[in-house]
């Protein structure tokens, strides 16, 4: 059983930019309803800060499982208007960087866990292993998470010796 009364109105430690409104225990799934903390948001077109809202929209994302049960976060975010008239972007939706990335259906911390498992196992093994802790992901999802991991920077050698290179190797 979840003590929802202790969580409501607090800033959830895993979701720092959201305030928890309600926690619902629905058997296999724990539902968390949250709203953004408000404040000014930069316009993606011009960068000017605005807090002028024109309504709300909801985003649903999977979060890290709790006690082997799935956690689904429903975040109510604002629709905003750019303060600069005639700008490239007139209306946009509030983003929660570091928590809910654009176009993602998982929170950032769940994406990190999924990528860590995919990095170690790759292929079909993550799809078989991830349901045990309560993370549902297909083989294709695990591979996409693996492909999102940035590659380490290439190291360019500082000095190249003359014995390492020959235009006409073996010919005199």
User: Which pLDDT score is estimated for 58?
Assistant: 92
Instruction: Give per-residue pLDDT as tens, 24-34.
Output: 988 888 999 99
User: Which pLDDT score is estimated for 73?
Assistant: 92
SS3 152: coil
Instruction: Give per-residue pLDDT as tens, 79-135.
Output: 988 888 877 888 888 888 788 888 888 888 888 888 888 877 876 777 777 777 777
Instruction: Identify the band that residue 74 occupies on the pLDDT scale cut at 50, 70 and 90.
Output: very high
Percent over 70 (pLDDT), the chain: 83
In sequence order, the β-bridge partners of residue 33 are: 22, 74
In this structure, are residues 132 and 88 in contact, taking their beta carbons and an 8 Å threshold? no
CA distance 35 to 37: 6
CA distance 96 to 91: 16
- Is pTM beyond 0.75? Reply is no
């Amino acid at each position: 059983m979840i003590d929802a009364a202790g969580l409501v109105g607090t800033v959830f430690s895993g979701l720092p930019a959201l305030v928890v409104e309600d926690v619902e225990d629905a058997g296999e799934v724990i539902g968390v309803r949250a709203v953004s903390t408000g404040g000014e948001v930069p316009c993606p077109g011009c960068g000017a800060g605005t807090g002028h809202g024109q309504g709300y929209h909801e985003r649903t994302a999977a979060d890290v499982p709790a006690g082997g049960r799935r956690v689904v976060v429903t975040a109510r975010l604002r629709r905003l208007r750019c303060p600069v008239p005639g700008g490239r972007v007139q209306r946009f939706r509030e983003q929660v960087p570091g928590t809910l990335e654009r176009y993602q259906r998982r929170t950032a911390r769940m994406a990190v866990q999924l990528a860590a498992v995919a990095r170690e196992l790759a292929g079909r093994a993550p799809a078989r292993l991830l349901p045990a802790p309560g993370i549902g992901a297909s083989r294709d999802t695990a591979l996409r998470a693996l492909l999102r991991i940035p590659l380490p920077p290439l190291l360019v050698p500082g000095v190249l010796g003359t014995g390492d290179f020959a235009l006409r190797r073996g010919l005199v």
